[in-house]
Amino acid sequence: MPQKTQLNCFDLPEMQLLEDRLQELNTYDNLSLSEVTGYVLSQGGKRIRPLLVLLCSDIYGAALKTRVDVAVAAELIHSASLLHDDVVDNSSLRRGQPSANRRWGNPTAVLAGDFLFARAYAVLSSYPNILAIMTNAISTMCLGELNQLYTHFDPDTTPEAYVSTIISKTASLLAASCECGAAISPMPPEEIGIMRKFALHVGIAYQVLDDIADYVLDAGLTGKPQGSDIRNGIVTLPLMYLLANPSTRERVQSLLQQKQPLEPKMLAPELAETNGIEKSAAVACHHLNRGIELLNCFPPRPAVLLLEELTRQFIERCRILSDNSPLTQKAGHPCQYTSP
């Protein structure tokens, strides 16, 4: 892979067009609804999914309006899913601010999410093949969330089930974003398949990193309550390393079987003994490196180099999360963490 460009992938001029289009789509008669959806969309976030659409569609080139439309739809779908997730998880914080369900109640949050889904479908109605890819991703996301819901506090959750769940609930939309971006361009079909595999690897790593952050970073750094996963009994990769170790399994299994809210600090000794945080970060890095290998299959165009840059930022996040484990910090030493 040639030396990467100095352009920051988040500085694409098309990203401003995305923001302008989101604001335009949030203009309608119902002021109460526009207040809720505007609040959600204005919270920002990383905009990873639309960024992937824009980059993948630019490798071989595509019409600018089409690229922005599909990118906007990807962000609307993601935002809608977050509204629903916060209701399911009973979360009170999102991106460092009170969640929509906290401010306006669960019924309003659910209906606002439904509305954003509808807006996304309306945008994609002009692109039937893209709509099919995205709706398939949405159904896959729902199945992933259901699978996770049914395994709360289950100490016998297998690694295979965990990977299947995170592919469904997180990686599927990242993969769909890359596939849709590629599909609106003249990219050869075999390369579209490779791009989807790239996105699945990145999506798996992305969720693993999020699962690690739930243990090691506080709300001021992640924008959501620390320990929300373990508090809800969600068995993620760091916890699986504790359950796989004979010397730590018994206590952790006993805690889970009580089906009572847990806190990361309650598992600090076990995490230290198993190096669960560091091992989980290594898994994420493995998938990210595999993703970079797949990018070598594409011509070394600026958009490909920016995809590599984005992936390397996540690799750096692996290192930071591993180093910022509360088990390895000295007293009074704050985490230094910047989300890509």
Helix intervals (H) in the chain:
13-25, 31-42, 48-58, 64-89, 100-104, 106-124, 128-149, 159-166, 172-183, 189-216, 219-222, 228-231, 237-244, 246-257, 268-274, 276-295, 302-323
Q: Which pLDDT value is given to residue 220?
A: 57
pLDDT digits (tens, 9 = 90+) for 191-231: 999 999 999 999 999 999 999 998 887 755 656 667 788 88
Instruction: List phi, psi (to 5°) of 133.
Output: -65, -45
Q: Which pLDDT value is given to residue 106?
A: 93
- Total count of domains within the chain: 1
For residue 117 the two structure tokens come to 């889904």
Cα–Cα distances in angstroms (integers) from residue 10 to residues 14, 38, 46, 74, 221, in the given order:
10, 22, 9, 16, 20
β-partners of residue 98 are: 93
Handedness of CA 98, 223, 68, 11 (dihedral sign): positive
Q: Which of 45, 57, 55 is nearest to 97 (CA)?
A: 45
**Contact in structure between 123 and 76 (CB atoms under 8 Å):** yes
- Whether residue 1 is contained in a domain is answered as no
- Whether residue 337 is contained in a domain is answered as no
For residue 218 the two structure tokens come to 């506080």
**Contact in structure between 277 and 212 (CB atoms under 8 Å):** yes
Q: pLDDT: is 230 or 295 the higher one?
A: 295
CB burial string 268-303: b at 16+ within 10 A, e below: eebbeebbbbbebbebbbebbebbbebbeebeeeeb
Helix (H, G, I), strand (E, B) or coil at 218: coil
Q: Which pLDDT value is given to residue 23?
A: 93
| Measured distance CA(296)–CA(304) in Å, rounded | 9
| Measured distance CA(206)–CA(317) in Å, rounded | 10
Mean pLDDT of 243-254: 92
- Whether residue 336 is contained in a domain is answered as no
Percentage of residues in the chain with pLDDT exceeding 70? Answer: 91
pLDDT of residue 38 exceeding 50, the answer is yes
- Whether residue 295 is contained in a domain is answered as yes
CATH of residue 140's domain is 1.10.600.10
Q: Which pLDDT value is given to residue 200?
A: 97
Percentage of residues in the chain with pLDDT exceeding 90? Answer: 67
Helix (H, G, I), strand (E, B) or coil at 97: strand
pLDDT of residue 189 exceeding 90, the answer is yes
Q: Which pLDDT value is given to residue 7?
A: 57
- Whether residue 183 is contained in a domain is answered as yes
In this prediction, residue 233 has a pLDDT band, given cuts at 50, 70 and 90, of: confident
| Measured distance CA(302)–CA(307) in Å, rounded | 9
pLDDT of residue 340 exceeding 80, the answer is no
- Whether residue 91 is contained in a domain is answered as yes
Domain coverage including residue 158:
12-323
What's this model's pTM, rounded to 2 decimal places? 0.89
Q: pLDDT: is 323 or 110 the higher one?
A: 110
Cα three-residue angle 112-39-146, rounded to 5 degrees: 45
Q: Which pLDDT value is given to residue 177?
A: 98
pLDDT digits (tens, 9 = 90+) for 63-106: 999 999 999 999 999 999 999 999 988 888 887 788 899 999 99
Containing H/E element for 94?
Answer: strand 93-94
- Whether residue 274 is contained in a domain is answered as yes
- Whether residue 78 is contained in a domain is answered as yes
Average pLDDT score, the chain: 88
Contacts of 187 (CB under 8 A, 6+ apart): 56, 59, 60, 195
Mean pLDDT of 38-46: 86
Helix (H, G, I), strand (E, B) or coil at 93: strand
Mean pLDDT of 236-245: 94
Q: Which pLDDT value is given to residue 57?
A: 98
pLDDT digits (tens, 9 = 90+) for 106-125: 999 999 999 999 999 999 99
